[in-house]
Amino acid sequence: MISHGRLRRSLARILIAAPLLAAAGGAGPAWPQAAGTGMFSPARVTVTSGEEIFRQICQGCHMPDGKGAVGAGKYPALAGDGSLVSTDFMALTLLNGRRNMPAFGGNGDVGLFFIVPSLTDEQIAAVINYVRSHFGNHFKGQITPAQVKALRQTAMHP
């Protein structure tokens, strides 16, 4: 159940975003996405491949080559990032968000300009394992959906 304060904040974000989107001509994201899924869609992400999840959600900020971007904001590089050695760090970042990155462990929370898709434990594990083995990253080991589930439960009930 959503709290009154959280509902008010979500509605305020929508009221702020609506005129901005209208002024921009209602333009959607500039990168290609599968129909009905991805960062700017309320539809549930149904793909399970780490590569597809990265393409539909992560590359919009972290760029297709994983090198990040600087412009309207700072989007950190995933390529060659030593902090990705920790699968727990990555899982907790995806589950809870970090700085301006939204949390993907929720239930489709409303972000400033979009509904944040919710990822399953399997999807989070898949995208972590993909990023850790691509973009010049060669980290050993993988995270399992069971490990993500345990971190999700810990994060929700400290």
CA 57 vs. chain centroid, Å, equals 6
**Domain boundaries in the chain?**
48-156
What pLDDT, in 10s, does the model give residues 17-45? 444 344 444 444 443 444 445 555 555 67
Domain 48-156, what fold? Answer: Cytochrome Bc1 Complex; Chain D, domain 2 (1.10.760)
Task: Confirm if 88 and 151 have CB atoms less than 8 A apart.
Answer: yes
H-helix or E-strand spanning residue 140: none
* Distance between CA atoms of residues 96 and 104, nearest Å: 7
Q: In residues, how long is the chain?
A: 158
Q: What angle do CA 130, 52, 71 make, to 5 degrees?
A: 85
pLDDT beyond 70 at 91:
yes
pTM attached to this predicted model: 0.68
| DSSP bridge partners of 110 | 115
